[in-house]
Amino acid sequence: MLKVKSREGSVTLEAAIILPIFIFVFLSIFGLFGMINARQEITRAMIQAGKSLSLDPYATEMLEKANDKKFRTAEQYLMSKVRQASSKEKYTNITKWYEGGDVSGVAKDRFIAYFAGGDESKANEKLKWMGVEGGLDGLKVDGSISGKRELELKTEYQLKFLFDFIQVGDVGKVKTTSTHWLWRYESKLHK
Amino acid sequence: MKARWEKLTKSLKDFFRRTINGAKGAISLFLVLTFAPLLSIALILVEGVRFQNAYALVQEVIDSSAFSTLAYTDQYLDERFGLLAMSQEKPVNDNFSKFFRANKKLLGNTVDIQDPSASGTLDLSDKAIFKEQVYDYSEYMVVAQMAAEALNLKELFDALKGNSIEKLEGYVESAQKTADAVEVFTTLTKSVSTVIKAAKEHEEAIQNYENDYEQLEDNIEDVVDALEQAKDNLGDEDSPDAIWEKSSVKRALRRARTASEDYRESGRMYIAKKEQLEREIDKFLDNIQDLPSSFNELKGKFEQIRNGSAQSGTNTDNVTEEQAKADDGTQGKKEQRAGQEFLKKALEAMYDVFVQSVKPNYKESLDQEFDQLRHQRAEVEKLKTALTARLNEMTTTDYEAQKYMIDEYWSRNDTHAYFSPLDLQTLSDTMSTLWENMQNTLDDIAKPDPGIKAFLISLVRVFSNLSQVGVLWDGSLDKQVVGSSFTASSGGMNLASGIGIESLKNLTSAIQDFANVLTDNSIVGKFLSLLKAVGKMLLSIIEFMGGLITWTVNVVAKLVANTADMVMALGGGVGNSVGEGMKHLLLVGYATYNNPNRISYKDGSTMTGHSFSDIFMLADGHMTSSGLDGLFKGFSEADLQTGAGGDPMFAGAIGEYMLIGSYGEKANQAATFMNMLYFRMYANIFGVFTNEGLQAMNLAGFAGWAVKLIVLIVESILDAFLLVNGGVVPFFKTKDIWCSAAGFPKYIEALRETEVLFGKDNDKAKETNEKLQNALEDGKDDIKKISSPGGGDELTTGQKVKGAFNQTNYQDHLFLLIAGTVGKDALVSRMQSLVQMEAQKYHKNQGAAFDLHKAYTHVETKTQYSLKAFLKFPGLQDAYAKTMTSYSGY
């Protein structure tokens, strides 16, 4: 066993060994919880986007109904609100995206709306900061409708460790799926 | 103690000396001692944050699942009524579980969660929930609808307030006074007829009296002749008294006795008839006393005549002048004065005849005459006794009056001297002729101005022709609203409306009678007939107008009060916060514009865009669900068996149900029609009463005065016809009216433009068109005569309220009536009942059930979950277990 003859430097040496260990443990813990938080925040945004999307068919049908000349005033009022919302905040959409085809585009837009207020660059930065590999580009949002009314949103992304001192790389691929029932009007009574 | 402390201190010193050995290892120990708590705190905070995130995520997943569950809406409620409630096809929990299970994996391994339970809550049978949904739905739709209809409510309400009810009340008060006078005049005129009859009988009695005297005189002469002849034939040995034994004498005696009896009887009859005549004259005078105070002076004049101190030449015009001063110039007073002018003219005619036929102090003269007659009758009685005594061969000593002993000295001269008819001149023997002349004069007075007469007759005839076109009443509804339906199917209808219908029928009949009297020149005693017709008409008018006033007080006053908040809300515009006034507006607007009525049911659509014709097809059932406060509480299948409410419910006439609330579809329509008619009448008062042409008729006597009333009623009925057939009318008419030469063709034109009647090229429309053509053809000449003196070439209406109210339709009136008469709670109850009925029927057709009590608007979920602890401290696990109850709704 190495015997220290003198007391000089022993404290410094001890601190040099112990402090990084402590800091590493701290940062690792925070990094871990950062990952958990990122995953939960992305999931919540996805769920909210799904809820919002599921209401689109109803809103669109209502607007179509308001297109009746009798309700011109109501239509103008509502349409102006919708246009305002869709152009600035992307919280809703007046196109009939739900009638088929790929709905991933509108799903991703809606995700961004709920994740970062509709600002793509902000969403990109936020995702990167959270450790999503590739930021917004690295986040894959898929939307599909099955059984006519069942909307399924899927997100897939690589999450990396925030304080990767030892270059462990990506810690895991995250896949989440949320399912929603569309508020579809499917008017049987309208002629 | 001290020793122990020293021992502990020593032990610590030994420990540090052995382990640290000066400064060695101090940093590690320091870091352990300081970082350990810090790290623990940090970990606890992080765990807290993790917990919060997990909680939020659980809530998000549950909300998302509940949101998907809410997406299972009852489509019919949504489309038809704009109401949101969960479908009752599947249990709420089933739908919720499906989505919860699908989304549960989003929680990852963070939490242990049991399957939550979900149930529906806050159903649409709750009035507050129902109302809120209506408000939410109607917030833009109703205002938009009203903007589309371009209603300017504030302007209308102001005008309604301005159309003061005092005008109506003054009018009815005047009509009542005139009706009282007419009643007395009717009695008076009837007593004229009775006087004429008594006078005729009196004259007949005089004739009989004189004839019987002639007979008596002849018979007495016969007795004398027989006696003289018997005397000539007596033998010498015969006793002078033997002449009385002769058969010829006896026969003559018997005839004379009979004649004396007849003469005495005719004297009695004469007295009786004269007494009767006296009584009738007295009755006539008594009736005059019953005249209203406005006729006091005329009455005094008659009393002066009766007291024998009549002074001819009193200026009767004073009455009119005084009245004119007393009048405040109101329309009702003018009408009253016109009627009194007419009656005064008649009274003057009576006065003239009375003076000629009834002498001053006639009562005293009559008494003297009666004394003389009674004396004469007593004398005739003695004659009869004498004649009887002679026949019975009694001695002359038995005779009470020797002077009546019949012997050869008696002669016609003697008879004439004792028994000739008295000269009774107190009441003229030509009295009946005079009074008949009076009647003729009165009949002449009763003849209206030819122009007015033609106008009135034409008006009534055209109205009558139009009313024969049945479809004007029933539109295209399958259930026809005809007169008999008014009372036969009045289940649940309010009483006031029932009375209104009855009084309208009475009034229509009275107007018809009045027109008949004017038309039929052959009527004898036209004055009395006219009085009777006018009296009947006035009473009908008073009854009807009374109903109108009650209605006005109840509805218009309420309308103005109830809608004050709405008007204030409208002042704020659409963007105004939904205050109470706006809520009221939304509720009434929803009831009016989201439901079909008898006009719109075929071609219109609800605010949700749902076709009314589909509702018509759906609403062919009955609702028997109990438990609602609304209409159907207590309504059972048994009621259907009895026929009550047996119509297909509200087939197209839901707006009317919202207004009236009866379960009888026909009753709803009938009562709505009456309300609308009253409303039109109220709104037309201004236009009709200020119409220049009709104003000119004020001075034209009694018929002219009645014309205005009839015009008001006919004008309003024509409006109602137009409205119930989908036409539009100016809400307030300011100058010209339909009932004019310029207005009537425009009315026909407006009628032709109505969608209901002529909108479709089908058999019904063709039939209607044909009927209308016939009605117009029949009344072609009459229409030409409908020309009020002030009528212009153009029908200029609606200037009182500009803009939208120039053209108001059935629905606009319905809106105002609902706003004015139906309280918010009642309206909501009716809506709930309707929703229950229609939705139940719809779902029944789909093989499902529907109950408003199960039409849930919220999902209640109860969840138990526990966070998987990062730090597993013993005994801390319970702190991570949670129970969450959450609500999601529309």
pLDDT at B318 over 60: no
Chain B residues touching A54 at Cβ < 8 A: 67-68, 71
Contacts of A71 in chain B (CB under 8 A): 141, 144-145, 148, 607
Closest residue of chain B to A28, computed from CA coordinates: B43
Shortest CA gap A51–chain B (Å)? 6
Cα gap B93→B230, rounded to integer Å:
138
The pLDDT, as a whole number, for residue A108 is 93
Tell me: pLDDT of B312 over 50.
no
**Is residue B122 very low, low, confident or very high in pLDDT (cuts 50, 70, 90)?**
very high
Judging contacts by C-beta atoms under 8 Å, the chain A residues touching residue B68 are: 54, 179-181
Q: Least CB-CB distance to A180: which of B60, B68, B145?
A: B68
Q: Please give the structure tokens belonging to residue A178.
A: 């949320």
Q: Got the DSSP string for B389-428?
A: HHHTT--GGG-S-GGG---TT--HHHHHHHHPPP---SB-
The pLDDT of residue A14: 75
pLDDT of residue A1: 46
Question: Per residue in B425-462, pLDDT tens?
Answer: 666 667 777 777 777 777 776 666 666 666 666 766 66
Inspect the interface and report whether the beta carbons of B614 and A191 lie closer than 8 Å: yes
pLDDT cut 90: percent of chain B above it? 8
Whether the CB-CB separation of B855 and B77 falls below 8 Å is answered with yes
Q: How many angstroms separate the CA atoms of B180 and B158, rounded? A: 36
CA atoms of B510 and B460, how far apart (whole Å): 11
Give the residue-averaged pLDDT of B618-634: 39
Q: How confident is the model at residue B131 (pLDDT cuts 50, 70, 90)?
A: very high
Name the packing angle between helices A10-66 and B26-70 (round to 10°): 10
Using pLDDT thresholds of 50, 70 and 90, give the confidence band for residue B656: confident
Residue pairs between chains A and B whose CB atoms are closer than 8 Å: 141
The pLDDT of residue B484 is 35
Strands B856-867 and B881-889: antiparallel
Q: What is the mean pLDDT of residues B839-862?
A: 88
User: What is the arithmetic mean of pLDDT over B144-165?
Assistant: 58
CB spacing of A29 vs B50 below 8 angstroms: no
Query: From CA B716, how far away is CA B719, in angstroms rounded?
Result: 5
Band of residue B316 on the pLDDT scale cut at 50, 70, 90: very low
pLDDT digits (tens, 9 = 90+) for B43-101: 788 777 778 888 888 999 999 999 999 999 998 898 888 899 999 999 999 999 999 99
Residues 6+ apart with CB under 8 A from A65: A71, B608, B609
For chain A, helix, strand, coil in percent to 5 are: 55, 15, 30
Residue of B32, B67, B146 to mutate, testing the A interface (most A Cβ within 10 Å of its Cβ): B67
Q: Are B285 and B306 in contact (CB under 8 A)?
A: yes
Quick one: pLDDT band at residue B882, thresholds 50, 70, 90? confident
Burial letters for B631-644: b for 16+ Cβ neighbours within 10 Å, e otherwise? bbeebeeebeeeeb
Check CB contact under 8 Å for B64 and A47. yes
Is the Cβ of A23 closer than 8 Å to some Cβ of chain B?
no
- Residue B424's pLDDT is 67
Instruction: pLDDT band for B688, please (50, 70, 90 cuts).
Output: confident
Six-digit token string for B92: 């709420």
Tens-digit pLDDT profile for residues B755-793: 555 555 556 556 666 666 666 666 556 655 554 433 333
Q: Which of A69-73, B569-573, B601-605 has the highest mean pLDDT?
A: B601-605
Which string of b and e fits B603-619 if b means at least 16 CB within 10 Å?
A: ebbbbbbbbbbbbbebb
Q: Tokens standing for B878?
A: 């319970």
pLDDT digits (tens, 9 = 90+) for B479-531: 333 333 333 333 333 333 444 556 666 776 777 777 677 666 665 566 777 77
pLDDT > 70 in chain B, percent: 57
| pLDDT given at position B567 | 59
Of B752 and B812, which is predicted with more confidence? B812
For the entire predicted model, the pTM comes to: 0.67
pLDDT of residue B645: 40
Relative to beta strand B111-113, strand A140-146 is unpaired
Q: State the pLDDT at residue A155.
A: 94
The reply to whether residue B57 touches residue A40, judged by beta carbons under 8 angstroms, is yes
Question: What string of pLDDT tens digits covers the 191 residues of chain A?
Answer: 455 455 566 777 777 887 888 788 878 877 877 888 888 899 999 999 999 999 988 888 777 766 654 555 555 566 666 666 655 556 677 778 888 778 999 999 999 999 998 889 999 999 999 989 899 999 999 999 987 789 999 999 998 877 766 655 556 788 889 999 998 776 665 44
- Residue B124 CB partners (closer than 8 Å, separation 6+): B77, B83, B85, B130, B133, B832, B835, B852, B855, B857
For residue B277, what pLDDT band results from cuts at 50, 70 and 90?
confident
